Structure 1
């Protein structure tokens, strides 16, 4: 099947880099969408004035929608134009366009539905990454594994991505987070449709550009969003769309741990009120359900880890057409 490739570039204060980024995009790409997200530097007008590449189309936002909102606009345009694979890169020059063929290959080869960059693969290349960002991304990666269900990926905030259009059509684009949680939210949405995600090793490249993703903002906003996505994923995948052994193990864990805690706390309260220490039998009756419950919880986690999607969704849908 002939692949039509589109590149989406959200733009906000990247005027001095955008033309160089576009120039580096190879002939394997058919369409390029530059989204001016109410850029103070008028990047969109600058591209229209100085870029001669016929593949480029500039989309203007009358108000700032955030990086997620800008990418979604590009996604919609690419889908409408009949793109098969859609790449997302930033316009600040930190993502090397020469890697685009490598992002295309796993999807075109029916190995994955979604490809994202991973700056943690090569330990030697991590030397160029700021230490605070390295620690923060490592912690975010672990939290993202639990919330998204993709236990085999790292670097969840990496914005260099590629996705098959048929999978993108399955995702409610209007529900995707519009700001900096966009990449993590995308992983959650992909898991709900059982899409295969592939980590592509890439070098960490940092120039003089200032990151808009602040640690304080992450600490304040991301935890609530991650918790929300975690419970939604568990409900969607283990109770709404499917009911499997992992569902049973999770239910058993909740019941046993709850019973053990309630029984233990009640008897602890009685021992304080009466001034009589609880017997060893009472302690065991409280502890045993909790221990068994945690064993069931570990079994549920193990099932979740081994239940990472393996068969590309776009391949299944194409075989049915």
Structure 2
């Protein structure tokens, strides 16, 4: 691995108690470490500059706080410009074990994935370490992420321990990606539009004395709206703009059929109830059949969508390598 240029990006915001220890724990297989001071009120960038003697470390600074997503993308840009091959993102609060970096990088180097992310739900014996509120919130967010991103085989979408091939990182639309807490899930949607392969990496949940700024109970509603937006965009991009298939017909026909059956049946039932007469069997069947057919068509669409999860890594393809070389 030392012969390959592996870079680590560490967003830095209120992590002065832990960040030096995190840097010290990063092994020699890493060629560059980018600490992004996201206008940290504690001066974490100054702390690293003054006390860290690791010559791999580069401190990048934001004049205005941009959030974790903005900090990560600043690190991505710098790593890509410096010729990194794989870019790992870990937090500076000590929750993420740097000893796991090779587990995130190796699937990318082996050509099995374009992007890897942690999954704290893989080991059932360790899930008990996660606070119940976080466990429920992450499960709910995972379901919404599967719908909006199209990656039905991943879990734990808010997990920020990730790695990405530089050819893919160089093609991300940085200006469009959410810069705050929705970053981890929004980037999955963007990766799907590139048909990148995403792979989960099992890891244990670790909670020490750090204070999390992410309150899942407060962001579920906000995330819901953004997931609906991304779901609509993904369906339009993948099933109507770029390509068309039988699934492109199944979804609208299913939705129209279901709505017709529900609306027609509801109106007829209301009319019969008001008149005090039983609804004719023919009317019931005329309402039920579109509902049943609509549900079947929608299920068929989702079956196709699940089977269409990207499975072949694309970072080695000529189009990504060529675009990156032009942008360098």
Using the size of structure 2 for normalisation, the TM-score is 0.93
- Matched with 1:34 is 35
- Matched with 1:132 is 133
- Matched with 2:261 is 260
Paired with 1:319 and 1:253, the residues of 2 have a C-alpha distance of 36
Paired with 1:96 and 1:9, the residues of 2 have a C-alpha distance of 13
**Cα distance, 1:308 vs structure 2:** 0.6
* 1:251 and 2:237 correspond: no
3-state SS of paired residue (1:173): coil
**Cα distance, 1:140 vs structure 2:** 1.4
Paired with 1:108 and 1:3, the residues of 2 have a C-alpha distance of 9
Paired with 1:124 and 1:204, the residues of 2 have a C-alpha distance of 11
**Cα distance, 1:229 vs structure 2:** 1.1
**Cα distance, 1:66 vs structure 2:** 0.6
- Matched with 2:316 is 315
Q: Deviations over 1:147-195 (max 9, x none)?
A: 1111111110000000011111222011111111110101111111111
* 1:76 and 2:77 correspond: yes
Paired with 1:320 and 1:140, the residues of 2 have a C-alpha distance of 33
**Cα distance, 1:272 vs structure 2:** 4.8
Paired with 2:136 and 2:52, the residues of 1 have a C-alpha distance of 39
* 1:296 and 2:297 correspond: yes
Paired with 1:127 and 1:61, the residues of 2 have a C-alpha distance of 37
**Cα distance, 1:316 vs structure 2:** 2.5
Paired with 2:246 and 2:316, the residues of 1 have a C-alpha distance of 27
**Cα distance, 1:132 vs structure 2:** 1.7
Total equivalences in the alignment: 321
**Cα distance, 1:137 vs structure 2:** 1.1
- Matched with 2:325 is none
- Matched with 1:241 is 242
**Cα distance, 1:298 vs structure 2:** 0.6
3-state SS of paired residue (2:18): helix
Aligned pairs for 1:74-113 (under 5 A) are 74-113=75-114
**Cα distance, 1:29 vs structure 2:** 1.0
Unaligned runs of 5+ in 2: 323-328
List structure 1 segments (4+ residues) > 6 angstroms apart after TM superposition.
Answer: none
**Cα distance, 1:88 vs structure 2:** 0.3
Paired with 1:7 and 1:98, the residues of 2 have a C-alpha distance of 12
RMSD: 1.7
* 1:53 and 2:54 correspond: yes
135 and 286 in structure 1: CA distance in 2 versus 1, 3 angstrom threshold: same
* 1:117 and 2:118 correspond: yes
Aligned pairs for 1:261-276 (under 5 A) are 261-272=262-273, 274-276=275-277
- Matched with 1:228 is 229
Paired with 1:311 and 1:318, the residues of 2 have a C-alpha distance of 15
Deviates more, 1:103-112 or 1:262-271: 262-271
3-state SS of paired residue (2:35): strand
Paired with 1:320 and 1:11, the residues of 2 have a C-alpha distance of 30
Aligned pairs for 1:141-152 (under 5 A) are 141-152=142-153
**Cα distance, 1:241 vs structure 2:** 1.3
317 and 293 in structure 1: CA distance in 2 versus 1, 3 angstrom threshold: same
Contact 2:77 2:170 in 1 (8 A): no
Paired with 1:95 and 1:215, the residues of 2 have a C-alpha distance of 19
